Structure 1
Amino acid sequence: MTMRRLLLIGGLCFMSLAHAQSPGDYTAAKQRADMDEASLSAADASAMHEAQGLALDAAATGCATPTADTSPFVVVAELDAGGKVVRTWREGSTPLAICVQKRIAASTLSAPPRAPFFTSFELSFSR
């Protein structure tokens, strides 16, 4: 086998393993997010919260409508080593929840201490 072919096969195997580690549903993803967030040092947690706030502000600005259904929802994001969101899950099906999920899916947060890293955005609104 040529070196190029070995690298291609190795890369495909690595991608399969990385995808296999990714949860298949919202519940498993949320559990991973809760564990990953709980494991952060105070400094890393502060940086992650700040990055989440920026991503959420941008999403809220782009998704806001005067008559939006403000039912609570949660978006879980899987981050790569650079903080780029590579996959999302959502609990809640309002147009606002769907819009926010799409915007978060296109976001980059701060680089996490390890990858993959899972984090969640839990939103509820006061009336």
Structure 2
Amino acid sequence: MKLAITALAIASLWAGVASAQTDSYAQAKAKADADEAALPSPDRQALMAAQSATVDQGIAACATPNPDMTAFTVVAELDAAGRVVRTWREGGTPLAICFQKQLANRVLSKPPRAPFFTSFELSFTP
């Protein structure tokens, strides 16, 4: 009986951990919005500077003669050092896909906690 109770407790714990994971773009984006909103001003400014440099480098690396300039968003999960460990994307243009790939293993500013979620919302005007 003790073995059955222990197995049930482990299964319940595992289910709780699994449900806490971020599996969808919508979940990741909601976490990014909350994490970014909670940042104190100096941390927010550091993150924005790191994001700006990342966008500039990523867009330059993904440049093509006639890119599809449809807006897209990429959400990134950062570890304690600020390294991108996972991404989610809304938008399927070649530019969006390339930009998401450019984020792999990039290091942004060190977040106040890990995991930390942030989003890159890109739109283009002629």
Question: For residues 55 and 64 of structure 1, what CA distance do their matches in structure 2 show?
Answer: 14
| 1:110 partner amino acid | S
Alignment RMSD (CA, Å): 1.7
Task: Give the drift of 1:21.
Answer: 3.7
Q: Report the equivalent of 1:116.
A: 115
Q: Report the equivalent of 1:87.
A: 86
Q: Report the equivalent of 1:50.
A: 49
Aligned length: 112
Task: Give the drift of 1:55.
Answer: 1.1
TM-score, length basis structure 1: 0.83
SS at match of 2:64: coil
**Identical aligned residues as a percent:** 55
Task: Give the drift of 1:105.
Answer: 2.0
8 Å Cα contact 1:79/1:86 also seen in 2: yes
| 2:35 partner amino acid | D
SS at match of 2:99: helix
1:1-127 equivalence runs, <5 A: 17=17, 21-127=20-126
Any stretches of 5+ residues in structure 2 without a counterpart?
1-16
C-alpha distance 57-20 of structure 1, shift in aligned 2 (>3 A): farther
TM-score, length basis structure 2: 0.84
Query: For 1:41-92, what per-residue CA distance to the aligned partner results, in whole angstroms no more than 9, with x for missing partners?
Result: 0000000000111111110110011200000000000000000000000000
| 1:50 partner amino acid | A
- Runs of 4+ in structure 1 deviating by more than 4 angstroms, as ranges, are none
Q: Report the equivalent of 1:9.
A: none
| 1:57 partner amino acid | D
Any stretches of 5+ residues in structure 1 without a counterpart?
1-16
| 2:41 partner amino acid | A
Query: For 1:12-43, what per-residue CA distance to the aligned partner results, in whole angstroms no more than 9, with x for missing partners?
Result: xxxxx5x7643100000000000000000000
- Between Structure 1 and Structure 2, whose CA radius of gyration is higher? 2
